[in-house]
Structure formats: structure tokens, C-alpha cells
Amino acid sequence: MPFIPHTEEDIRAMLDRIGADSVEDLFDEIPADLRSPPLTGIPEGENEMGIARLMQERAALDGMPSNFIGAGAYEHHIPAAVWQIATRGEFYSAYTPYQAEASQGTLQLIYEYQTMISRLTGMEVSNASLYDGASALAEAVLMAVRVNRRSKAKRVLLPGALHPDYRKVVKTLIGNQGIDLVELPFDETTGQTPVDALAPHADEDVTAMVISQPNFFGILEDVDALTGWAEERGIPVIAVVNPVSLALLKPPGEWGTNGVDIVVGEGQPLGAPLSSGGPYFGFMTTLKKHIRQMPGRIVGRAEDADGKPGFVLTLQAREQHIRRSKATSNICTNQGLVVTAATIHMSLLGDEGLTRVAEACYANTHALVEKLAAKGIKPRFTGEYFHEVALDFGGDAATRVQAMADAGVLPGFELGRDYAQLEGCVLACATETKTESDLEQYVTTWEQAKAA
């Protein structure tokens, strides 16, 4: 029997010991009228060889197109060691480190992760991760409302240039909390969120404000000016950032005069494959003074009975398994395995490697824009961008995007899905995985799609 070790003799001996005639007798407390019909809708079992063949066929069916879509999930090279070590059984098949003495591997790794992500974002403390970037933002909004006790309005400013699906997720996850989400318009020329957009809220009771750097269009925001506006009014700021960009960009801990209060983002670019959207992880860092309002697991250094250092889950009194209905969140797990991969990934790259990755992403996207400019395609916005850019494909964009896909190039994310005024624009990203000939292929498939 697959994955079940019992021999006929074992079964007999165990039933005898229990005092039951058959395994079926063990289910005699389930009322007869509730018993399940045969599961005819499930196929018969497959052996490993059979299922391997099927999965290989399915995976091959989706092809291996040259991908220039980013829009929140980015193709990066992942060193071979990352997932080889992350999928060692000792990491892969362990659970949440409730028994600290038997979980020092996972606990120390998370402590190292917390240190790395705090340093990268320029903040003081981190949790052990949340589900993904979007749900981490929803948790950050709830946290900011708890932190800003002075505010009565529960009003949170979200940029229109924030990832549209992040805005939707925030709405889903905090929709029943009576929080007012106010959208800030972006400048349709530069693609930035102008400080002017904040003017109507200058005298309002604002509970928290979100800044995305880069924003969804890849554009760099004037983070100091935006943060400064909030600082003058004592409004907590939540930063949403791409962790790879932070090798080059000013960390949120240094924005404005004193830095932001909470930083969140999608951890996927740090060692998680695209994998159809998950599993990724959301990171969250903050200031020491807010740590008791932070959701999720936190690992702390501790001493054992011999005075030997080690690591434990700490501040558990915030969590659902202790506080139940009074917890900071209902979150139970984090994204442990993906965080394991990310920690190994960051250790292998180091400052130098991550900087080179970020520079290569920047260089490749800018090189692609130059090549396309020569063919008459211009960026939609004038603002400076990091590794992603909105390209104006024109009215027949949808047809051209599909034609390019059919030719083996996914040219980008169609912005018209979420922004009516950006119909015909395609958000493209060329990371460090793209070579000169990949960029050339983009241009030639674009030309062929245009001619077709």
C-alpha cells in the first residue's frame, strides 16, 4: 500500500490489541446515514512512474516562453544550492518550532533571516514572514491602525500607483474592520505620486499612509517628500518595497527625516521561483517600539539552563494560539520553507551579488527601452524607473501581446486590465536573466507581430 507500512500480521495484531474485529469497527461512532458514498470521482491510484509521466507532459504543455512579465513577481536566477538545501528533509518536513530544543536549525535560520531583512530595509526588527506581499500589506494596515491610537478616523491613504491586486487584497482582508481606504491619484505624465495629491488630506485625521517604491509602474517615487509630509503630521508610513531594488535604493528606514514605521513587500525575488504565483512570502519589518503590535511569529535569542545561547519563538502572547479572539491576527504559520530558501539565497549573493543583480536588472530594462525607442515605442511615463517600465504598444496591444506570446515571448503585463487610461500599455521587465539576444528577440517578435 503506498506510504502505509502495515503488513497483514501487523493489522491483525493491532486489531487484537484494540479488541476490534476489523478496521471498519473503529468507525462505529459515525452515524450510518452519514457514511460517504464510494469516491468514484477520484481516479485509481497511479505509481510514481505514471504520475511522473503525466506531470512532465503537463509542465511541457505550458512551454518555456521568454518571460518579460513582472508586475510583482520577478524572474531571477536562483543558485542551485538554495533549493537543494531548503528541501533537505530536516527543513522540508519539520513543523513550526514549538519545541525549541528540537528546532534550533529552523529557529537560528529565522533569526538570521530577521537580521538580513531588517538590514536590507533599514529597520530595527522583523517577523518570521507572512503569506505574501499583498496580505502582508493588509496586516500592516491593521497594525498601523493599532499603532496610531491618536487617530479616530481609521482612514488610510493608498496610492493609485500601488499594485492594483494589493489594493484588492487589502480590501478583502480588512473589509470588515470599518477602515476607510482612500486612493491617491498618480501624475499621468510622470507616473509618480505627487506630493500635491496629498493636499486635500492636509487637515484630515489620517491614520496611516502607504508608499510604494518602486511603484507598480516601476517608477521611482520621491519618497523623502512623501514621507516628510506624513512626518510633519505624525502619520505612520507603511512602505511597500521590492527587496532586490533595495541593494541600490535608499532603505525605508532612512526615508524622510526619521524613516518609516512599517515596511512590507513581496519576498519572492529573493530565491522563490515564479511557480504560477506561489508559494512566496511577505516580509514585514518595523521599529522596536511597535513590535508588540506586529503580527506573525518572531524568533528571539535566548539562553538555556546551561547559559548556552540559542533561539526560541518569542512574544507569543500576541498570537492566536494564546490570545485567541484578542490576538493581533489569526495568522498561524509563516512561509517557513520559502524563508529558508530566501535566507540561503541572500547569504550566497551577499551585498555584492545582490547589487550586481539589481544593476543588471536596471541595465537590461533600460537597454530594452533603448532598443524599442529606436522602433518608435516609447515609455508611457517620464519618471525615472528601476527595472520595470510601462510601454505604449498602442491600440492593438492585446492582439500584439498574444501574437508575441505565440512566437515565444511574453512581452509584459497589460495595464488596461486595471487602468482604463492606460489601455494599450504593457508593463515590461527585463531582469538579470535576460541576455542581449533575449532583448533582440523581444524587438524582432514585436516587429513581426506588428507586421502580421
Looking up cell 513543523 gives 95
Residues 93/450, Cβ–Cβ less than 8 Å = no
Q: How far is the CB of 353 from other proteins (least distance, A)?
A: 4
By CB under 8 A, name the one of 21, 93, 203, 374 that touches other proteins: 93
By CB under 8 A, name the one of 401, 422, 430, 439 that touches other proteins: 401
By CB under 8 A, name the one of 3, 152, 203, 395 that touches other proteins: 3
407-446 residues near other proteins, rule: CB under 8 A: 410, 413, 432
How far apart (Å, rounded) are the C-alpha atoms in residues 63 and 224?
43
How far apart (Å, rounded) are the C-alpha atoms in residues 160 and 104?
43
Q: How far is the CB of 337 from other proteins (least distance, A)?
A: 3
Q: Phi/psi of residue 81, each to 5°? A: -65, -25
By CB under 8 A, name the one of 180, 188, 232, 351 that touches other proteins: 351
- Taking residue 382's Cβ as centre, other Cβ atoms within 10 Å add up to 13
116-145 residues near other proteins, rule: CB under 8 A: 116, 118-120, 124-126, 128-129, 131-135
By CB under 8 A, name the one of 229, 386, 419, 446 that touches other proteins: 386
The H-or-E segment that residue 183 falls in is strand 180-184
How far apart (Å, rounded) are the C-alpha atoms in residues 255 and 285?
14
Residue (200 or 408) nearer to other proteins, CB = 408
Among 149-157, 196-204, 233-241, 249-257, the segment contacting other proteins (CB under 8 A): 249-257
Size of the site for other proteins (CB under 8 A): 200
By CB under 8 A, name the one of 197, 263, 357, 377 that touches other proteins: 357
Residue (81 or 202) nearer to other proteins, CB = 81
Distance of CA 281 to the CA centre of its chain: 5
Q: How far is the CB of 83 from other proteins (least distance, A)?
A: 7
Residue (236 or 271) nearer to other proteins, CB = 271
Told to check if 284 binds other proteins by CB under 8 A, we report no
Residues 175/167, Cβ–Cβ less than 8 Å = no
Report CA-CA distances (Å) from 116 to 127, 186, 269, 329, 371: 11, 32, 14, 24, 37
Q: How far is the CB of 180 from other proteins (least distance, A)?
A: 15
Told to check if 195 binds other proteins by CB under 8 A, we report no
Residue 131, C-beta contacts closer than 8 angstroms, at least 6 positions apart = 281, 282, 331, 335
Residue (258 or 402) nearer to other proteins, CB = 402
Residue (99 or 437) nearer to other proteins, CB = 99
Residue (164 or 201) nearer to other proteins, CB = 164
Told to check if 248 binds other proteins by CB under 8 A, we report yes
158-187 residues near other proteins, rule: CB under 8 A: 163, 165-166, 168-169, 171-173, 175-178
- Taking residue 266's Cβ as centre, other Cβ atoms within 10 Å add up to 25
Please give the order of strands across the beta sheet that includes 208-213: 125-126, 282-286, 262-266, 237-241, 208-213, 155-159, 180-184
- Taking residue 191's Cβ as centre, other Cβ atoms within 10 Å add up to 26
Residue (53 or 375) nearer to other proteins, CB = 53
Told to check if 371 binds other proteins by CB under 8 A, we report no
